[in-house]
Amino acid sequence: MKTAIQFILILILSSCASKKSIERKVITEYNFQNITESFDAKKINYIGLKKYCVGGIRIEMPNEKDCKNCYSEYDIYIFWTIKGKSYVQKFDNCSEFNIVEILDFKANEFLKKNTLELQTGKVGNYKIDQETFSSVSHSCFRNYIINDGKTKYQNEFDIYNLTGENENLNFKSNNELKIIQLDNKLNKIIKRLENENQFERNKKTCYNTRIK
Q: Which pLDDT score is estimated for 109? A: 94
Domain boundaries, the chain: 29-210
pLDDT tens sequence across 122-178: 999 999 998 999 999 889 999 999 999 999 999 999 999 999 999 999 999 999 999
| 2-25 mean pLDDT | 46
Statement: residue 187 has pLDDT above 80: yes
Neighbours of 77 (CB within 10 A): 21
The residue type found at 144 is Y
- The three-class DSSP label of residue 90 is strand
Q: Which pLDDT score is estimated for 211? A: 43
**Angle value at C-alpha 142, between 199 and 136, nearest 5 degrees:** 125
